[in-house]
Structure 1
Amino acid sequence: MYIGGKKDLNALDQYTIETLGLPGTVLMENAGNAVVEALLKDYEDVEAKILVLAGAGNNGGDGFVIARKLCDRGFNVELCLLVDESKIKGDALTHFTIYRKRQLPFFQLTETNFYKLQEKMNCATIIVDAMLGTGTQGSIREPYRSVIQMVNQSTAFVLSVDIPSGLQADDGHVEEFAIKADQTVTFVMPKIGFYLQDGPNYIGDLKVVDISVPTEYVKQLNLTLPKLITYSDVFAQMPKRPANGHKGTFGHGLVIGGSKPYVGAPIYSAKSAFHTGIGLVTLAIPECNYPMSAVQLPEALFLPLNHQNGHITQTALFEHDFSKFNAISFGPGISRFEDGDKLVQALFNQLKGQPIIIDADGLYFLRNQMQLVKDYQGPVIITPHPGEMATLLNTTIKEVEEHRLEIAKQFAEKYNVYVLLKGHRSIVATPNGNTWINPFGHDALGKGGSGDVLTGVILSLLCQGANIEKALVCATFLHARAAELQAKELSHYGVTPNTIIEGIPQILNKMF
C-alpha cells in the first residue's frame, strides 16, 4: 500500500478530475459517504448525538456531506461551521449550499456564541473533525486553536476526516495543537505524516477508504512514494520452505559479537534466527564468553575467538575462513574499544561478498569508514536506532527524528547501503530509492536486546534465500508484531527479548 504527502494526493486528485473527468464535487460526495459508512460499522445507535465541525476548505466540504448523509440516515446531527460563510469556495460551497437549502440542523460559530459550542460538545456522543484537512501549515489560528483544545478535552468519540486537524500530512509535525482522534478515516491512501514524528500519537484507529481516486496512476505520474508494510506484503515476501528441506537448505549464518560485559546480545541474535527458520548459526564470540554462551544456546555452533581485555582482536578474524557462511551479522554486544575500527577493516577484508548486517557498536566503528561500505562487493545492511544514525551522520538525534524518511532514503542512496532505521515506525530504505514504513510496534520494544533480536531475524531470512529488501520488510514486521502480541499477554511492561523471540513462531504459525 502506498503512502503519500500533500502534493502526491493533490496530483492524484487533479489527474482524476482533469484527465479522467470525475468532478471534484463527486469525489467530495464519495468521501463523505465513505466516512459515514465507516462510522456506521461501529455506531448504529440513531440516538447518538453527532456534532460535525467544519471549516471552509475541502475538508469542511467533506463535513457538509457527512452531516447531510447522517441526517438522511436518521441520526441526531448538527453541523457547526467555524468560519464565515463567505469564505467557503469551490466544491465545498456546492455541498454547503445543498445542506442549507435542505434546512438541515446548522450552527454558525461566532465570537459571541462560543459558549454554545462548548455546551454542544458536552452533549455530543460523537464529534466529527472536518476542520483543516491536509492544508495545515504552521501555527493554528483562531477559532481552530480554541476549538481543537475543546475537542481534546471532550469525552466524546472523535473521528477525524482524512487527517486530524493540526497534524501536518508530510512530516507528522504538530506545531502546538492537533486533534487527538479516536479514529481517522483517510482517503485514497495513508498520509506520510501518520507515521512520522507526532503522527502516531494523534491518528487513533486508522481506516483507509476508496473515493474513486485510482492509485494505479502513481507510476504514470512519476510519484516516488513510500509503501506501508502490510500482512499481505509479508506473506508474499517470506521465503517459502520446501517440504524436503534440510538444515543446509535453510542456510548457515554467522554472528560476530559479544564482549566481556555483553554476553547476551549475540545469543539473542542467534536465538531469533533459529526461531525464524535458519538451518545453522555459528556464534563467533570472545573465548572468555564461550562457557556461559554454550550453556544458554546448545543448538548453536561456536567459534571462540582470541580476545584482549574481553574484546575480539582483529588478528582473530584472519585465522578463519568465512566463505561457507551465507550471511554475516556483526556488532551485537561487540562494545566499544580502542582498536574497534581495525576490527571492522579486518572483517571487510575477510568476507567474500556475502550480505553483512552491521548493528549496535559495529555502527560506531563504521562511522568514519563508510568507504569500506562503498567498496565492498556484496550488500551491506545497517540497522541503526536514531542515536546510532545521528553518530553516522555527525548530527543530532532531534535532526534524525524530524527527517527520518529523507535521512534513511538519502543515506541508502549515497552509500549504496540498505538501511533499517529503527524507532517508533521503523523505516526500510534501499540503494535504488525504495522506501517502506512499518506501521507496527510500540514501547514494548523499548528494552535492551530488542535490536539484537531484529538482527537475528534479518540474518535468518537472508540465509533462507530472501532478497535484501524482502528480508528487511519481513523482519521488521515480525519483530514489531511479536512484541505487540506478547504485550497483550504480558503487558507493555513485561515483554523481554526472549518473549519477542518466542512470539515470532506464533505469528508465522498463523500466517502459514
Structure 2
Amino acid sequence: MFVAGQKEMQQMDQYTMDKIGLPGVVLMENAGAKVVEEILASSPCKNPRVIIFAGGGNNGGDGFVIARRLFDLGLEPLLCLLVNPDRIKGDAKSHFDVYINRGLPIFYFQEDNALTLRDKLNQADIIIDAMLGTGINGPVREPFDQVISIVNEYKGKRLVISVDIPSGVSSDSGKVEGLAIKATKTITFVFPKKGFFLNDGPKYIGEWKVVDISVPPSIVKDLGLNMPQLITKPLVKSLLPARPQYGHKGTFGHALVLGGSRQYVGAPIFAAKAALFSGAGLVTLAVPNSIYPMVASQNPESLLLPLSESDGHFAEKAIEEITSRLHQFNSIAIGPGMSRFDGGEEWIKSLIASLTNQPIVIDADALYLLRNELDLVRQYRGSMIFTPHPGEMASLVNKTVKEVEANRIEIASTFAKDFRVYLLLKGHRSIVATPGGEVYINPYGHDALGKGGSGDVLTGLIASFLAQGAPTLNALITASYLHARAGEEKAKTLSHYGVMPLDIIDGVRDQLNQIKFSLPKD
C-alpha cells in the first residue's frame, strides 16, 4: 500500500478526472457515501445524532454529501457551516447547492453562537470533521481554531471522525502548528497520507481506514510517482524467507553477532537470541574475552567466540583472530553493546576492510565509530545496513535530533542514496530507505519498545533473516514489522511499562506463528 502526500493526491485526482473521465463531483459523492458507511458501521447506537462541521473547500464538499445522505437514510444530522457560503467554490459548491435546493437544515457558525454550538454537541453521538482536509499549511485560522478547540473537549466522550485527515494536521509532514482535531477515527481516501505517520500526526489520527472512491491505485504507476509504501502483514507474509521441511541448520544460515564490552553485556546476548529465535540455523556470538563467562552462562544456544580485549573492549589483535573465520558467516551484525573506545575508529575500519561481500548490519556505537568514515561505507561491495535511532542519525548527518525528527523521510532517503546503504531509522513509525530511493514506513510500534535492549533485538532479527537468505530489503521490512508488532502485543498483557527485550523475542515467535506462511511445495 502506498502512502501519499498532498501533491500526489492532487495529481491522482486530476488524472482520474481528465484521463479516466470521472468528474470531481462524482469523486466527492463517492467519498461522502463511503464515509456514511463508516459512520453507520462505527455508530454506538442505531439512530445516531450526527453533527458535521464543514469548511468551504473539497473537504467541506465531502461534508455536504455526508449530511445529505444521512438525511436520505432517515437520520437528522446537523450540518454546521464554518464559512460564508460565498466562499464555497467548484465541486463543493455544486454539492452545497444541491443541499440548499433540497431545503435541508443548516447551522451557520458565528463566534457569538459558540454556546449554542456546545448545546448541540452535548446532544450529538458522532462528530464529523470535514473542515480543512489535506490542504492545510500552517496554523488554522478563525473560526476553525475556535471550533477545533471546542470539539477537542469532547475527545473520549463522543466518536470524532475526521474526513481524509484531521483538520490542522499537515498531510505531508504530520506537523500541527497550533490546533488540530484529535480524531477517534480517520476515514481517508485512496491511500493513507504521509502525515499519519510523521511528527504530530500519530497523536491525532486515531484509528484510520482507507476507502475506495474510484481512483484506481494503478494511477501511481501510470503517473510514474515515487511514493513511500506502508509495511503491512500481507507484505511481510510474502517476504518471509521460506522454511523447507527438509531443511537443517546449514539451510538456515549462520549469523555472526560482534559486540559487547565490560559495560554492556546484555546487548549482544539479546541480538544473538533474537537471531536464533527467529530462524537462523546457527549464531556465533563474538565478545571481549572478559565477559565471555557471563555471556556463555546466559546464552547457551549460541556458539561463543571470545576475542582479545583491552580495558574491556575489543583489542586490535581481535581483528586478526576473527579474519580467517569471516567467510563462514552469511550475515554479520556489528555494534550491540560494543561501546566507544580509544582506537575504535581504526578498529572498525580494519574489520570492514577484512570483509568481502556479506550483508552487514551496523548498529549502536559501531555507527558512532563510522560517522567520520562514510566514504568507506560507499566502497563496500556487499549490502550494508545502518539502524540508527534519531540521536545516532543526527550524529551521522551533523544535525540536531529535532531536525531529524522533523524530516524523517527526507533525511533517511537522502542518506541511503548518498552513501549507498540500506537504512532503518528507528523511532515512532520507523522508516526503511534503500540506496535506490525506495521508502517504506512501519505503521506499528509504540512506547512499549522504548527500553534499552529493544534495538539490539531488532538488529538480531535483521541478521537472522539475512542469514536465512532474505534479500536485504525483505529482511529489513520483515524484522521491523515483527519487532514492532511483538512489542504491541506483549504490552497488552505485560503493560506498556513492563515489556523487556526477552519478551519482544518471545513475541516475535508468536507473530511468526500467527502469520503462518506457506511452506514451499516439493
Query: TM-score band, normalised by the shorter chain?
Result: over 0.9
Residue 466 of structure 1, CA deviation: 0.4
**One-letter amino acid of the counterpart of residue 496, structure 1:** M
Q: Aligned to 2:295, which of 276, 293, 296? A: 293
Is residue 246 from structure 1 mapped to residue 254 from structure 2 by the alignment?
no
Task: Note closer, same or farther for the CA distance 1:44–1:389 as it changes in structure 2 (3 Å cut).
Answer: closer
State the shift of 1:44 in Å. Answer: 6.6
**8 Å contact 2:44–2:125 — kept in the other structure?**
no
Q: Percent identity?
A: 56
Deviation at 1:353, TM superposition (A): 1.1
What SS does the aligned partner of 2:247 have? coil
Equivalent residue number for residue 446 of structure 1: 450
Q: Does 1:111 align with 2:111?
A: yes
**Equivalent of 1:467, from 461, 465, 471?**
471
- How do 1:155-170 and structure 2 match up within 5 A? 155-170=157-172
Query: Which residue in 2 is equivalent to 1:500?
Result: 504
Contact 2:43 2:126 in 1 (8 A): no
CA deviation profile, 1:270-308 (whole Å, cap 9, x unmatched): 101111100000011001011011111111001100001
Deviation by residue 1:59-112 (Cα, 9 ceiling, x = unmatched): 000000011111111223110001111001111011111111222221111233
Q: What SS does the corresponding residue of 2:226 show, helix, strand or coil?
A: coil
Q: Which residue of 2 aligns with 1:433?
A: 437
Q: Which amino acid aligns with 1:186?
A: T
Maintained 8 Å contact 1:46/1:74: no
Q: Is 1:214 aligned to 2:216, yes or no?
A: yes
> Offset of 1:315 from its aligned partner?
2.1
For residues 28 and 245 of structure 1, the distance between their equivalents in structure 2, rounded to whole angstroms, comes to 54
What does residue 181 of structure 1 align with?
183
Quick one: distance in 2 between partners of 1:186 and 1:220?
22
- Distance in 1, matches of 2:16 and 2:427, equals 36
Matches within 5 A, 1:84-233: 84-154=84-154, 155-233=157-235
Match of 2:315 in 1: 313
- Does 1:335 pair with 2:339? yes
Give the whole-Å Cα distance in 2 for the aligned partners of 1:181 and 1:100: 28
Distance of 1:367 and 1:393 partners within structure 2: 8
Partner of 2:32: 32
| CA–CA separation in structure 2 for the residues paired with 1:281 and 1:13 | 51
Residues 361-380 of structure 1 aligned to structure 2 (within 5 Å): 361-380=365-384
Q: CA-atom RMSD, angstroms?
A: 0.9
1:78 alignment counterpart:
78
2:385 is aligned to: 381
State the distance in 2 between where 1:380 and 1:492 align.
33
Q: Is the 8 A contact 1:46 1:75 kept in 2?
A: no
Counterpart-to-counterpart distance in 1, 2:316 and 2:195? 44
Q: Which residue of structure 2 aligns with residue 486 of structure 1?
A: 490
The letter of the residue matching 2:145 is: R
Q: Deviations over 1:226-268 (max 9, x none)?
A: 0000010000000010000000000000000000010000000
Letter in 2 for 1:150: I
> For structure 2, which runs of at least 5 residues remain unmatched after alignment?
517-522
Q: Contact 1:46–1:76 at 8 Å: present in 2 too?
A: no
What TM-score comes out, normalization by structure 1 length? 0.99
CA-CA distance at 1:46 after TM superposition: 4.0
Over residues 475-501 of structure 1, what are the superposed CA-to-partner deviations in whole Å (9 max), with x where a residue is unaligned?
A: 000000000000011110110001000
CA deviations over 1:155-180 (Å, ceiling 9, x no partner): 32100000000000001000011000
Deviation at 1:136, TM superposition (A): 0.3
1:262 corresponding residue in structure 2: 264
Alignment partner of 1:206: what SS? strand
Task: Report what 2:59 is aligned to.
Answer: 59
2:477 is matched by which residue type in structure 1?
A: V
Inter-partner Cα distance in structure 2 for 1:471 and 1:413:
19
2:361–2:385: 8 Å Cα contact kept in structure 1?
Answer: yes
In structure 1, runs of 5+ residues without a counterpart are: none
Change (3 A) 1:427 1:367: same
Give 1:314 deviation, angstroms.
Answer: 2.4
TM-score by length of 2: 0.97
Equivalenced residue count is: 512
8 Å CA contact retained: 1:318, 1:350: no
In the alignment, the residues of structure 1 paired with residue 453 and residue 493 of structure 2 have an alpha-carbon distance, to the nearest angstrom, of 20
SS at match of 1:428: strand
